[in-house]
Amino acid sequence: MIDISKLTIVSAREALKKGEFTSRELTQACIDAIKSKDGEIHAFLEVFSNALAQADEADKQIKNGVDLPLLGIPVALKDNILVKGEKASAGSKILENFIAPYDSTATQKLQQAGAVIVGRTNCDEFAMGSSTENSAYGPTKNPLDTSRVPGGSSGGSAAAVAAGFVIAALGSDTGGSIRQPAAFCGIVGMKPTYGRVSRNGLIAMASSLDQIGPFTKTAEDAEIIYNVIKGQDRMDSTTLDGKTFPAHGHEGNSREKSSHLTIGVPRSFFESSLDKAVLENFNQAVKKFESLGYKTKDIELPTLKYSLAVYYILMPAEVSSNLARFDGVKYGLHVDGVNSIDDYFKTRGEGFGPETRRRVILGTYVLSSGYYDAYYGTAVNMKAAITKELREAFKDVDLILTPTTPTPAWKFGEKSDPLSMYLADIFTVPANISGCPSMSLPSGEVDGLPLGALLTADLGNETALFEAGKSFQG
Ligand code: GLN
């Protein structure tokens, strides 16, 4: 019996090369684990019927001595990342029977690297939420404590890795949807620099904030996936080549060795909002970095406290415009009304869940002519100010460290007031607003529940994230 919960990409690749097991055996072990435990967890919306055929193809290549970074490795994709010929519903009823007509660029790159795509994972509807409770298909449970949420919106992908159903998964992160569920499930989750991974074939939530990224057990594995999926893409004009940002994040960086990396800690941003145990866990992470030779220093980032307000204006504005395409004609669900406008209202009324409708209304409001300047215009200006402040900070430090979340995973139904759930995104949204790369690392437990330490680096400086992540995990 292969125990997937013990395998990393690195160790599984080693075992596949040595012939300790085949990709078919590994993939079958995933399917068996899903069959026996996913009834309770509900990480998957679907296991693809061709998973074993993909594994056989990988086994053929392994036999022929082909060496690819993910050859034979079972991975799962969030339900908003297109796989040609498979359903992609973004956790929504409106796309319940939508079949993807093409592969996303990230999907193609995974396939070219030899990955076996096992299935699609549950998520909050259109990636809107922090608990996976907004999925039209019912919530996913946290594999470490099934009375609690796995985080969201990519909760299915996080749970699939944490439960040992697959070795790695992809999610999307618009305001923390990879990093927060990674923290809640005790694994690594990473959001690349905006523009490093193509959004072609990712069902859009908020286009200026969305990025696809990996869920893995280790920072080393996250780096492998990042290197596979990154790159400029003619299908997404916001993608960047690797040279756009200097390799060390900013010009004039004279700190070269990892032992000299400096970590800035914006204590006044988070200290007052944390309870004692979470703060203690965070301080341990700081101490660990110090013991590994990192310099740490307190820094002030006074505009960061506006990030959440800015996010909850920009994001719904973009959601309202992106979701306008679901009109009952072009994609998915169609409900007949008395005339075409009635079709539109009926389709959207029945197809969208309450959180999606809330955000469309909020977004339409902040973009309306009377309020545009007061809300959207101000938020755009604040986005520039927050980005400037962060980029200034990275002249002095290589990385910024905060907790990933103010609390560990909460119980189902605990945050039924939407505002209380929004507040839980406070530490993850700055990286989306500024475009900076950011990664959550497992930082231990409080009352048996995992927490994450969140590292953020300057635009294009993924290298620093991976270096620090790898040394932190040892
Ligand atoms: N929790 C945040 C929200 O509800 C982030 C979502 C995301 O990153 N997709 O908007």
The single-letter code of the amino acid at 104 is S
- Per-residue confidence (pLDDT) for residue 1, from 0 to 100: 85
Bridge partners of 441, per DSSP, are: 453
How far apart CA 106 and CA 455 sit, in angstroms, is 24
Whether 315 lines ligand 1, by a CB cut-off of 6 Å, is yes
Report the residue among 123, 124, 128, 421 best suited for mutation to probe ligand 1: largest number of ligand atoms under 8 A from its CB. 128
- Inside any domain, residue 222: yes
CA atoms lying within 13 Å on the CB side of residue 49: 3
Cα-Cα end-to-end distance for the chain: 27
Tokens representing 466 are 């991976």
**Which atom of ligand 1 sits closest to the CA of residue 205?**
9
Whether 143 lines ligand 1, by a CB cut-off of 6 Å, is no
Whether 177 lines ligand 1, by a CB cut-off of 6 Å, is yes
- Per-residue confidence (pLDDT) for residue 114, from 0 to 100: 98
Ligand 1 mean position, distance from CA 425 (Å): 8
- Atom 10 of ligand 1 has which residue's CA nearest to it? 128
Q: List, by residue number, the catalytic residues.
A: 78, 153, 177
- Per-residue confidence (pLDDT) for residue 246, from 0 to 100: 57
Whether 153 lines ligand 1, by a CB cut-off of 6 Å, is yes
Residue pair 140/41 in contact by the 8 Å Cβ criterion: yes
- Per-residue confidence (pLDDT) for residue 249, from 0 to 100: 47
Residuewise pLDDT in 10s, the chain (474 residues): 899 999 999 999 999 999 999 999 999 999 999 999 999 999 999 999 999 999 999 999 999 999 999 999 999 999 999 999 999 999 999 999 999 999 999 999 999 999 999 999 999 999 999 999 999 999 999 999 999 999 999 999 999 999 999 999 999 999 999 999 999 999 999 999 999 999 999 999 999 999 999 999 999 999 999 999 999 999 999 999 877 775 444 444 444 544 579 999 999 999 988 999 999 999 999 999 999 999 999 999 999 999 999 999 999 999 999 999 999 998 999 999 999 999 999 999 999 999 999 999 999 999 999 999 999 999 999 999 999 999 999 999 999 999 999 999 999 999 999 999 999 999 999 999 999 999 999 999 999 999 999 999 999 999 999 999 999 999
- Inside any domain, residue 346: no
- Atom 4 of ligand 1 has which residue's CA nearest to it? 129
- Inside any domain, residue 150: yes
Query: DSSP secondary structure string, 416-460?
Result: -SHHHHHHTTTTTHHHHHH---EEEEEEEEETTEEEEEEEEE-TT
- Inside any domain, residue 332: no
Ligand 1 mean position, distance from CA 202 (Å): 15
Q: What is the CATH number of the domain that holds 152?
A: 3.90.1300.10
- Inside any domain, residue 380: no
- Per-residue confidence (pLDDT) for residue 177, from 0 to 100: 98
Q: What angle do CA 25, 26, 29 make, to 5 degrees?
A: 85
Residues, the chain: 474
- Inside any domain, residue 245: no
**Which atom of ligand 1 sits closest to the CA of residue 177?**
8
Ligand 1 mean position, distance from CA 211 (Å): 11
**Which atom of ligand 1 sits closest to the CA of residue 311?**
10
- Inside any domain, residue 266: no
- Inside any domain, residue 197: yes
- Cα Rg for the chain, rounded, in angstroms? 21
- Atom 5 of ligand 1 has which residue's CA nearest to it? 175
How far apart CA 124 and CA 27 sit, in angstroms, is 26
Tokens representing 298 are 């307190």
Q: How many domains does the chain have?
A: 1
- Per-residue confidence (pLDDT) for residue 241, from 0 to 100: 86
Exposed / middle / buried, residue 257 (Cβ in 10 Å: 0-12, 13-18, 19+)? exposed
**Which atom of ligand 1 sits closest to the CA of residue 432?**
8
Whether 205 lines ligand 1, by a CB cut-off of 6 Å, is yes
Strand, helix or coil for residue 171: strand
Residue 82 is part of which domain span? 4-229
Residue among 210, 214, 148 at smallest CA distance from 184: 148
